[in-house]
Structure 1
Amino acid sequence: MAERVTIKPYTGPAGGWGSARSLTEILLREQIPLSGAAMLMHQNKADGFMCVSCAWAKPDKPAVFEYCENGAKATAWEVTRKRVTADFFARHTVTELEGWRDYDLEEEGRLTEPMRWDAASDRYLPVSWQTAFDEIGAELKALDPTSAVFYASGRASLEASYMYGLLARLHGSNNLPDSSNMCHESTSVALPESIGSPVGTVLLKDFEQTDCILFFGQNPGSNAPRMLHPLQEASRRGVPIITFNPFRERGLESFTNPQAPLEMLTRSETRISSQYLQVKAGGDLGALYGLCKALLEADEAARRDDGAPLVDAAFIAEHTRGFEAFAASVRGTSWDEIERRSGLTRTALAQAARTYGRARSAMGVYGMGLTQHRMGVETVQVLVNLLLLRGNIGRPGAGICPVRGHSNVQGQRTVGITEKPELVPSDKLKALYGFEPPQEKGLNTVEACEGILDGSVRAFVALGGNFIRAVPETVLMEAAWRKLRLTVQVSTKLNRNHVIHGEIAYILPCLGRIEIDAQPGGRQAVTMEDSTACIHGSKGYAEPASRHLLSEPRIVAGIAKATLAPNPRIDWDRWAGDYASVRDAIEATYPSEFKDFNARMWQPGGFRRPIPAAGRVWRTPSGKAHFVTPRGLSADPDTEQADPEVMRLITMRSNDQFNTTIYGYDDRFRGVKGTRMVLFMNRRDIERLGLRDAQTVDLVGAADDGVERRVAGFRVVAYDVPEGCIGGYYPECNPLIPLWHHAERSKVPAAKSVPVRIRAG
């Protein structure tokens, strides 16, 4: 059924009554108006469950309603009363389901029993758990271990993730890509070189002590709405929040706290950004150079006039290396080039630099607007450089703050979900489990896709996620996916990865995090790590969607027992029945990070694992923080084209989705209702290209590599976005992203600046 499409400007705040109405709507739609509201009272509480949506930190003293609009949607989506039973699959062939929209697939409800695809009938048929495990194990044992990929989506618990990583390595490979490869791998490469830590240094309490926030390429209104609360409090204290974002996002402009009765009744709004700079797509590297240049120039002028210096020379001398080379590069870069690359004026950048220079403590907050570019690693490193110039790492109210997406994607990496063997304590694994962990580098997400395309990858096991919908190069990937020998999906809901499948395909439905997990060892709890490296306990309260569901640890154990030779040092059944024993194993493997794990997991606000850089201990080869000098200012060389018809496409989410999960077809903050096939354009570009508002157009990939990439049926929408830049929704625009169009050093898909042309439909 087609929705009625309306598009009109939205001028209200993030949050507010719109958020309240959205919450009410989804609770009614998922048939849980009372039970869902009651469940939300346990969300992000000390003895409750961690939100299954984003990874934003939860405070040690939570609010009565410690959830946001999108977190509430994620909870309602998981505890829905709707069910996908064997009868559903009996009524629909898989070929028929391929024609369904992503929203319609997931909206059918929770999966209820294990299923196996039957080629003769083109339907999923029920299969017993033990038969599924035995058959999956037989297939994996018949394959070269390096041809099997074990993907993790970022939502699985630390316990399940640890078991899953061990399963893959015992099987014989490090093919453990995860969703971090698609978003913050640029951070994981950049920060260790710069400060010796792969994660950020900021804690939630730093927002209470900061004097300035630099905000890059992240939209909290849609992607991490609970983050708006500390931003609102900072703004009310007079803290300048300087935002760099191509789109003017309502969550970065104005906020009404829907949990504050007085604000709701009076419809009062809090200004979020004090200065909003609409940097062009791929222009952040140039903007950061402009901030550094203005700061260095102001510092030199102050020293000449015997004023207060703006650059912390003592900190730089004691704690860093590489300053002179970086400073020389900045001084040698002209303002003309900085303005051309960034799309911003010298005046605006100088104003931002002055504000930053006056702040005693400042933090740099960023999201995928920095990481998903060809030069994403270098862009993150120059943001670190800007902070190092004033000693803004390793003191209260200061630091680097990457905002992670999936609720445990950072934690999964901590306990071994990585394709990089050097990040895993192989000596500990060998001592604990008596095997030689593989030392060959495994496949990351892009490399796994390359292996699927060339046929070297034969099996794909997924612990959650919707991989085929999340990755670039959709058309080629879907065709190649069907040639895989084995696909296994551990899931809670139906999605594209179930209907695009391999020659042998299984759906293994699991308990959700919000559900009661009763095992032989009693009711179980799990743990996860938030964006600030704090570890939290989480236990479910909802009745399971089906008596046939197994927990993720139980499913991992079942596959492991069917695939691997018996190991007297590993009792998979004990682990699956008592997660405290898994936490003991995690502590034994990572003793410094997880000391007294079981005793501390319910600490209010979480317990933080050690982050040396937060204490100005730099775990780099030199023992110092490093100023890294990039080789140029072009964050996306592929879009540096002379053809004026080539546009820079920015892919993004609506406020009615989380990653590939679509909750609805509205984007309240951008004034869109009833569709996701929209193309946001600058009005001058619309006129320049001979188009008109509301016209239907196609997007065509501009890469000259012999592959035709086209997505049809976009509606042109005039919007406040820099000239030459356009915006469209993810994952609908993924077919336009070449697989090779990724960050050069991290292989994160460069989805924030994709070269495309617009063709009239």
Structure 2
Amino acid sequence: MTKRKSSIKPFRGPAGGWGSVRSLADILPRERLGPAGLAQLARQNKTEGFACVSCAWPKPAHAHPAEFCEEGAKATAWELTTLRTTPAFFEKHTLSELRGCSDYDLEQHGRLTHPLRYDAETDKYVACSWEDAFAAIGAALRPMDPKSVVFYSSGRTSLEASYMYGLMARIFGNQNLPDSSNMCHESTSVGLKAAIGVPVGTTRLDDFDHADALFFFGHNTGSNAPRMLHNLRSGRKRGVEIVTFNPLRERGLERFTVPQNPIEMTTLQETDISTQYHQLKAGGDIAAITGIAKFLLEWDDEARAKGEPEVLDHDFIKQHTTGFESFADTVRAASWEAIETESGLPRTAIEQAASVYAEAKAVMAIYGMGLTQHVKGVDNVRMVVNLLLLRGNIGKPGAGPMPVRGHSNVQGQRTVGITEKTELVPVEKLEEQYDFTAPREKGLDTVESCRGVIDGSVKAFIALGGNFLRAVPETEAMEKAWPKLDVSVQIATKLNRNHLFPGKVTYLLPCLGRIERDEQASGPQAVSVEDSTSCIHGSRGKIAPASEHLLSEPAIVGALAKAILPRQPKIDWDALVGDYALIRDAIEQTYPDVFKDYNARLFTPGGFWKGNKAAERIWQTPSGKAEFFKPQSLSATGFADTEHRYRLITLRSNDQFNTTIYGYHDRFRGVKGTRDVLFVNAEDMAAAGLMSGQIVALESDAGDGITRRREGLSVTPYDIPRGCLGAYYPEANVLIPVEHHAEESHVPAGKSVPVRIVSG
């Protein structure tokens, strides 16, 4: 493992600006990009170019000359690196030896070049042919009980590959189709579906031009969706109020300098983003929103008594909602003492936020995993909807919920059938289309797949991308259990930690990246993705593949399908692989309302919108109306605060995307050269007798009798609410019990984990 010099000191600059430029100046030569690779940045997020392989922020119809952010450029450099991980590398290293490497060091070796088979005698990967790999995988999977096999997919997978993958799994006989959504925004899918009848946000990119106020909850925009900063800057220039609720002060929601603007760069101009910034406790959003609603109800009562204009939109509430009175009664009954205690905010701060909301005519609520990854994560989402419903802020320009998805196609995968839930898939249509009997039994989600790996009921795991073993909770138990799998198949572009834990039959299959040229029988191919705003975009790679031995994701899925399934007269897998337009025709046949004229609209500037009934104020709920929700608790953590118990927030740095670590410089938090950091409130440090730089460990305080421990963390004083701690994901996942998840959605609750600090 590479040793690095570390330092921790405050960063004073804005998001963007010269810090962003210097960060790119560091990674581009490190990945050894040649002129052809650098030229691809000009095609990134352009209509006829490729969709960014990292976040799902929309591609605008009218793009900037440089339509990429710092994180997106890192993702492109990471994929187009000229570094290679060849079979010769594995001849020198056993998997046991490689387990001592960091996540960064593993992936930094470069792109995988050949299909590989695990050899147990030598504990090494050895090169093999594609034909032998598919034959062996088919021979191992065909006799297995379909219920014991999991088909996982990463949110980077295209709509075309995702559709084929879900179809393959259902014909095989199960709906064990966990994906990245299970780990992040399934709370959104469950919460919004119950509240307004659709599982996705109702807003689009142009809503930013009509909003009077933006309310942010639990999102680190500067690191996770930096291109949004341009929209926020434009909003601030025209006077939009931006009210942020987040435990940490994230620089992207404080100040921003546009790196593409020569005047701002040379004069060091900055735009202040948030007009209010409220550092509530982890899990305190329900209480904060309850407090806002309490003020709104009080002001509305006073206004109606005086015959003044109403604060709430009673016409909207009466016509479009149900459950208002029950929710209002709950809010009125909540005490300010409880609200302040659970939110960690003073009443005056909540009043300031409520004043902005009461005066704005159109409000967007933008949120991320800081809301969804709690035990009461679904309740958090429902409370955001409650707030919007009070003033009719759904179904009009500039208003509505905007969940910000992470992976570039994680929302789209669900649209084309990557789900464990039968009710979300037109199974009857699939049966008619392909002449098979589809399973109706609910499949395994991420948490249930983890349970199955640990208890042995899951016998095989096929991964279409991702780093599942690193991304999920209960790290130690999962790593111990993984080698018991009968079959482990990993489709990937680079080596990651999951690949170092082989099953009895294990194959590592390298695939093309999205930015690379994909040539099939009918010629060059394009794929498509869905962004966070439900718009579908075409994406075409043009650069030469990293190796002549790579196959595309659709090609690998098609070959797997032929290897593990009986012949299907109505499915010509080879034809689908030969011409992706045929896959899109098939998707359109399955989902005619969403994908009408799919191929013709593939490269529509700004994407084509799949539609959203709630945005039209058509509520596809059991009541036929938008439904207010009555919270049962003011805290989203799911556990009580006790002496010496802290709420751990797992964090991503601005030098990573999910489990992919691009480097060791979390610029905005001033951390360089290390990820072994524990962020602690200075007053909590004093109370616990901790010193800055002291090495400690964290232990899980879940009360289940299982010891989970994260060693070697350097105590770092930080502006974080009392009782809360911060540590980096995925390294801190070892502390999260598999059963510590959102109650209805099963999203691992990584934003409020019960832990205690112990001596290192």
TM-score (norm 1): 0.99
1:146-545 counterparts in 2 under 5 A? Answer: 146-545=147-546
* 2:711 counterpart residue number: 712
Query: 8 Å contact 2:374–2:638 — kept in the other structure?
Result: no
Residue 692 of structure 1 is matched in structure 2 by: 691
Equivalent-residue separation in structure 1 for 2:555 and 2:437 (angstroms): 25
- TM-superposed CA distance for 1:307, in Å, is 2.1
- Look up the SS of the partner of 1:649 in the other structure: strand
Structure 2 distance, partners of 1:53, 1:693, is: 35
Kindly provide the amino acid, as one letter, of the partner of residue 729 in structure 1. Y
Per-residue displacement from partner, 1:403-428 (whole Å, max 9, x unpaired)?
A: 00000000000000000011110110
- Distance in 1, matches of 2:99 and 2:722, equals 37
Kindly provide the amino acid, as one letter, of the partner of residue 653 in structure 2.
S
- Look up the SS of the partner of 1:637 in the other structure: coil
SS in structure 2 at match of 1:417:
coil
| 1:137-170 deviation digits (Å, cap 9, x = unpaired) | 1111121000000000110000000000000000
Deviations 1:326-368 (A, max 9, x none): 0111111111111111001111111100111100100100000
1:682 lines up with 2:655 in the alignment: no
Q: 1:275 deviation in Å?
A: 0.2
C-alpha distance in structure 2 between counterparts of 1:37 and 1:130, whole Å: 35
Deviation at 1:703, TM superposition (A): 1.5
Separation of aligned partners in 2, 1:137 and 1:37: 40
SS in structure 2 of the partner of residue 598 of structure 1: helix
1:143 matched to 2:144? The reply is yes
Give the counterpart letter for 1:749 in structure 2. Answer: P
Structure 1 contact 27–33 (Cα < 8 Å) conserved: no
For 2:581, the equivalent position in structure 1 comes to 580
* Letter matched to residue 642 of structure 1: T
Corresponding position of 1:567: 568
Amino acid at match of 2:641: Q
Contact 1:24 1:33 in 2 (8 A): no
1:36, CA displacement in angstroms? Answer: 3.0
How far residue 623 of structure 1 moved from its aligned partner, in angstroms, is 1.1
Q: Tell me the alpha carbon deviations over residues 491-535 of structure 1, each in whole angstroms, 9 at most, x when there is no partner.
A: 000000111121111000000000000111110000000000000
Match of 2:743 in 1: 744
AA matched with 1:720 = D
In structure 2, give the amino acid aligned to 1:514. Answer: I
User: How far apart in 1 are the matches of 2:623 and 2:648?
Assistant: 40
**What's the CA shift for 1:99?**
1.0
Matches of 1:441 and 1:637 in 2, distance apart? 26
Match of residue 645 from structure 2: 646
Structure 1, unaligned stretches of length 5 or more?
A: none
Structure 1 runs (4+) greater than 6 angstroms displaced? none
* Cα distance, 1:33 vs structure 2: 5.2
What are the Cα deviations for residues 588-640 of structure 1, in whole angstroms up to 9, with x where unaligned? Answer: 000000000000010000000011001111111111110011222121122x1
Query: CA offset at residue 759 of structure 1?
Result: 1.2
1:544-623 to structure 2, matched below 5 A, reads 544-623=545-624
Q: Tell me by how many angstroms 1:2 deviates.
A: 1.5
Cα displacement string for residues 211-248 of structure 1 (whole angstroms, at most 9, x for unaligned residues): 00000000011111001110111111110100000001
The residue type equivalent to 1:245 in the other structure is N
Distance 2:457 2:424 in 1: 25
Is 1:667–1:673's contact at 8 Å kept on the other side of the alignment?
A: yes
Three-state SS of the structure 2 residue aligned to 1:757 is strand
3-state DSSP of counterpart to 1:96: helix
Which residues of structure 2 form unaligned runs of 5+?
Answer: none
CA distance in 1, matches of 2:102, 2:293: 46
- SS of structure 1 residue aligned to 2:484: coil
SS for the counterpart of 1:481 is helix
Q: Distance in 2 between matches of 1:524 and 1:691?
A: 58
* Partner residue, 1:116: 117
Find the counterpart in structure 2 of residue 660 from structure 1: 659
| Contact preservation (8 Å) 2:37, 2:543 | no
SS where residue 47 of structure 1 aligns?
Answer: coil
Q: CA contact under 8 A between 1:650 and 1:726: conserved in structure 2?
A: yes
- Structure 1 contact 178–445 (Cα < 8 Å) conserved: yes
1:178-222, CA deviations, whole angstroms, 9 ceiling, x for partnerless residues? 010000000010011100000000100001110000000000111
Question: Any idea what the Cα deviations from partners look like across 1:546-601, whole Å, max 9, x if unmatched?
Answer: 00000000000000001101111000000011000000000000000000000001
CA RMSD, aligned part only? 0.7
TM-score normalized with structure 2 length: 0.99
**Secondary structure at the counterpart of residue 468 of structure 1:** helix
SS at match of 2:466: coil
Cα contact 2:285–2:635 (8 A) shared by 1: no
In 1, the alpha carbon distance for the partners of 2:351 and 2:548 equals 62
- Equivalent position SS for 1:733: helix
User: What SS does the aligned partner of 2:227 have?
Assistant: helix
CA distance in 2, matches of 1:613, 1:101: 45
**Would you say the 8 A contact 1:246–1:279 is kept in 2?**
yes
**C-alpha separation in 2, matches of 1:76 and 1:642:** 46
Aligned residue identity for 1:393: I
Residue 712 of structure 1 aligns with an amino acid whose one-letter code is E
Q: Give me the whole-angstrom Cα distance separating, in 2, the residues matched to 1:468 and 1:454.
A: 15
SS at match of 1:166: helix
Which residue identity lines up with residue 726 of structure 1 in the other structure?
L
Q: Is the 8 A contact 2:303 2:310 kept in 1?
A: yes
- What letter matches 1:134 in structure 2? A
Paired residue for 1:31? 32
SS in 2 for 1:243: strand
The number of residues matched between the two structures is 759
1:624 equivalent in structure 2? 625
Q: In structure 2, the residue corresponding to 1:614 is in which secondary structure? A: helix
Cα distance in 2, alignment partners of residues 669 and 623 from structure 1: 45
Contact between 1:283 and 1:341, CA under 8 Å: does it hold in 2?
yes
Q: Distance in 2 between matches of 1:661 and 1:53?
A: 10
Amino acid at match of 2:84: R
Q: Report the 3-state secondary structure (helix = DSSP H, G, I; strand = E; otherwise coil) of the residue aligned with 2:43.
A: coil
Matched residue, 2:634: 633
Once structures 1 and 2 are overlaid, which stretch shifts more, 122-131 or 628-637?
628-637
Name the structure 2 match of 1:703: 702
Q: What is the identity, as a one-letter code, of the residue corresponding to 1:719? A: Y
Deviations 1:75-107 (Å, cap 9, x if unpaired)?
A: 000000001111111111111111111101000
Matched with 1:721 is 720
Contact 2:215 2:365 in 1 (8 A): yes
Partner of 2:178, secondary structure, is: coil
In 1, Cα distance between equivalents of 2:697 and 2:526? 48
Partner of residue 22, structure 2: 21
| Secondary structure in 2 matching 1:294 | helix
Per-residue deviation, 1:299: 1.2
- For 1:724, the aligned partner's letter is G
Conserved? CA contact 1:27–1:36, under 8 Å: no
Question: What one-letter code is carried by the residue in structure 1 that aligns with 2:514?
Answer: R
CA distance in structure 2 between the aligned counterparts of 1:698 and 1:750, rounded to whole angstroms: 20
8 Å contact from structure 1 (residues 211, 361) kept in 2: yes
Aligned partners of 1:746 and 1:292: how far apart in 2? Answer: 25
Partner of 1:205, secondary structure, is: helix
AA paired with 1:653?
A: R
Which digits, 9 at most, give the CA deviation of each residue in 1:273-325, with x for residues without a partner?
00000010110111111111111111111222222211000001111111011
**Aligned-partner residue type, residue 656 of structure 1:** D
C-alpha contact (below 8 Å) 1:134/1:562 kept by paired residues: yes
The residue aligned with 1:130 is 131
Q: Residue 733 of structure 1 aligns with which residue? A: 732
Q: Is the 8 A contact 1:489 1:498 kept in 2?
A: yes
Q: Secondary structure at the match of 2:503?
A: coil
